[in-house]
Amino acid sequence: MINVTKPFLPPKEEYDEYLKGIWSREWLTNNGPLLNELELQLKKFLDVPHLFYVTNGTIALQLAIKVLGLKGEIITTPFSFVATSSSIVWEGCKPVFVDIDPATYNINPALIEDAITPQTSAILATHVFGNPCEIKDIEAIADKHNLKVIFDGAHAFGSSYKNRSVFHYGDISTLSFHATKLFHTIEGGAIVTHDAVVAKEIAHMRNFGFAGPDNFHGLGINGKNCEFHAAMGLCNLKYINQILERRQQLWERYNYMLLSLKVGKPIRNPLPGFNFAYYPVLFESEAVLLKNIRALQGIYVHPRRYFYPSLETLNYILPKQEVKISSDVASRVLCLPLYHDLSMEEVDMICRALLRSQNY
């Protein structure tokens, strides 16, 4: 069976070496030495000054909204994972959806200003499928209207924009290190900022608000992560360049094999800005998409309708908002299997099944 993704796992003996150290120290969580080492290495790899390793990417988003003191309305994309909009609602704000660019599937900057009201406090944009947003356009709009900017970079590890890491931009960026991501720590995430004052607040906030053993700085949450997850991150980070290279090879093989398949694909940021995190294809109709899913399942291949459904359909977001392009793309898009251990022969098999389905 071939699933849409499978986690990269390092050699077990390398992880075991880290476990020996954890056992000898008996320091399992609460800002241990492996967690600190992972943060240092991630800051170096991503070229950012302040990075905090947290429980998961959703907590990272919630911390970002809380630490920036956001209220009222937050402009965001309806084409993202549910955590992007649910974090806004969870923090007592209102998501205001702006439709996506049909070429990139990212939020369309040309539509943002029309959605700004006196209640707008921020823009929360997702780098969809690892493809960077139009960052400069978004930041220019935010500066003009005195808004904060959060970039959801759950898919964007290894992506760059104008020759800099995508995490160089915005007031805050967030990451997910879930097992499905190209770089993972089993569970985990991170929050990045370039503002030292904001960084200090995040440091307190992710640890219940503690400012010392018997002193509280302010309101906080348990956003910490543990040594076991940090150990997996340290192992996997050693292989990140191999992981990125392999994904590009698989992505390019799909491109070659599917030249004649009648599908659309998002226009991606030119190299070297893209991390090849996913391989999405857009079918001409939902009926054709479902037909191709059945064809793949017939050979034990399980792709994913991702993102589906479009987030304006969530029952806890009222009043309902119309975003025609996102709704349309969500109904027709499919992510094909893409992971480190996927073989070229398996890619070819998947592609042949899609091409056969097109001809019948």
CATH topology of domain 240-358: Aspartate Aminotransferase, domain 1 (3.90.1150)
Assigned architecture for domain 2-237: 3-Layer(aba) Sandwich (3.40)
- What local confidence, expressed as pLDDT, does residue 271 receive? 66
Task: Please give the distance of CA 129 from its chain centroid, rounded to a whole number.
Answer: 7
pLDDT in tens, 44-86: 999 999 999 999 999 999 999 999 999 999 999 999 999 999 9
Q: What is the pLDDT of residues 217-232, one digit of tens each?
A: 888 999 999 999 999 9
Residues 170-191, mean pLDDT to the nearest whole number:
98
Q: Which neighbouring-strand residues pair with 160?
A: 165
pLDDT band at 316 (very low <50, low <70, confident <90, very high): very high
Q: Is the pLDDT at 236 greater than 80, yes or no? A: yes
Confidence grade of residue 174 (pLDDT, cut at 50, 70, 90): very high
- Indicate the pLDDT class of residue 25, thresholds 50, 70 and 90: very high
% of the chain exceeding 70 in pLDDT: 100
Task: Determine the Cα–Cα distance for residues 170 and 192; give it in Å rounded to an integer.
Answer: 9
Please tell me the predicted confidence (pLDDT) of residue 245.
97
| Percentage above 90 pLDDT, the chain | 93
Q: Return the exposure string of 108-140: e unless at least 16 CB atoms fall within 10 Å of the residue's CB, then b.
A: bbebbeebbeeebbbbbbbbbbbbbbbbeebbe
pLDDT at residue 358 in the model = 87
What mean pLDDT is reported for the chain?
A: 96
With contact defined as beta carbons under 8 Å apart, do 349 and 298 qualify? Answer: no
Q: How confident is the model at residue 99 (pLDDT cuts 50, 70, 90)?
A: very high
Query: In whole angstroms, what is the distance from residue 185 CA to residue 157 CA?
Result: 13
Amino acid 73: pLDDT: 98
Cβ contacts of residue 312 below 8 Å, gap of 6+? Answer: 78, 97, 320, 321, 322, 323, 326, 327
256 pLDDT more than 80: yes
Spell out the domain ranges in the chain: 2-237, 240-358
Res. 171: pLDDT tops 70: yes
Distance CA 203, CA 224 (A): 10
The number of residues in the chain equals 360
Of 7, 8, 9, 5, the closest CA to residue 338 belongs to: 5
Give residue for tokens 């911390």. Answer: 63
pLDDT at 93 (0 to 100): 98
Q: What average pLDDT does this structure show over 238-267?
A: 96
| Whole-model pTM over 0.85 | yes
pLDDT for residue 187: 98
At 284 the pLDDT is 97
pLDDT > 80? residue 212: no
Tokens of 60: 């990272």
Give the pLDDT score at 359.
Answer: 78
Contact partners, residue 252, CB within 8 Å, separation at least 6 = none
CA 17 to chain centre: 30
Q: What pLDDT was estimated at residue 267?
A: 87
CB 235 within 8 A of CB 18: yes
Cα-based torsion angle of the residue sequence 198, 200, 202, 206 in order, rounded to the nearest 10 degrees? -170
Angle, helices 33-46/227-237, rounded to nearest 10 degrees: 40
pLDDT (tens digit, 9 = 90+) per residue, 105-158? 999 999 999 999 999 999 999 999 999 999 999 999 999 999 999 999 999 999
Confidence of residue 289 (pLDDT cuts 50, 70, 90): very high
User: Which is higher by pLDDT, 183 or 273?
Assistant: 183
